[in-house]
Amino acid sequence: MGAARHRKAGTPAPRHRHLWPWRRNPLRTRAHTRHRVFSVMLLIALCAVPAVALLLGRAAYDSSAAERRDRIATIHTTQATARQDVYGGARGLLGGGDSAIPATVTWTAADGTERTGTALVDPPVRVGESTAIWLDRNGNPAHPPESSAKPVLDAVSLGVAVTLGGAGFLFLVYAAEHTLFMHSRMHAWAREWAEVAPRWTADA
């Protein structure tokens, strides 16, 4: 009531300031409108980047997990006896085949015969100790499967790469478009000033 009482008769009510970027403005050109629409589109694309990264990361996880399951389905473990001492450093980040070291071992084949060969074992192992080795369907030493952590690492790595790459690409696109917009606006102002300046000088 107080604000309405002190407002002069015939004075229009102030417009909502939160709509100022979109209200009519005689100084706004088509270039301004295109720049604003382009910026909004880039913002929408930026919001979609995490969703795309999540979908691709999930696909990478499913693919890596399926590959690991298929690999495990074609190999199996058996107990072998080490014929040499095996020492190793720190275990690999993913474990599995990353930490295994070739060593001479003896194992019993499916037909009951004793076989000796080189297989990958997890250190440390001493001569005469029992250790697990992986064999393929033909009974030959095989490379151990990847760790169960590998699908997770693949998914996270791809998700982070897509997020950073997508955001960086959109930023470069915005920077290039903004630079072109500023150049075009400066040229437009220069042309308008070249037309108006002589008239101002003549009037002076």
Query: What is the average per-residue pLDDT within 124-140?
Result: 93
> What pLDDT score was predicted for residue 33?
74
Our separate counts of H helices and E strands in the chain read 3, 4
Mean pLDDT of the chain: 81
CA distance 66 to 150: 12
Q: With contact defined as beta carbons under 8 Å apart, do 31 and 181 qualify?
A: yes
pLDDT in tens, 42-65: 999 999 999 999 999 999 999 999
Residue with tokens 């229009």, as numbered in its chain: 12
Longest dimension (CA), the chain: 112
pLDDT in tens, 154-183: 999 999 999 999 999 999 999 988 888 777
Model confidence at 30: pLDDT above 70: no
The two structure tokens encoding residue 106: 């003896």
CA distance 38 to 147: 45
CA distance 100 to 140: 16
The two structure tokens encoding residue 187: 């040229």
pTM: 0.65
> What pLDDT score was predicted for residue 178?
83
> What pLDDT score was predicted for residue 27?
52
CA distance 18 to 157: 40
CA distance 157 to 60: 9
CA distance 105 to 114: 11
Q: List the single range of 112-116, 141-145, 178-182, 191-195 with lowest mean pLDDT.
A: 191-195
Among residues 77, 75, 55, the alpha carbon closest in space to that of 163 is found at: 55
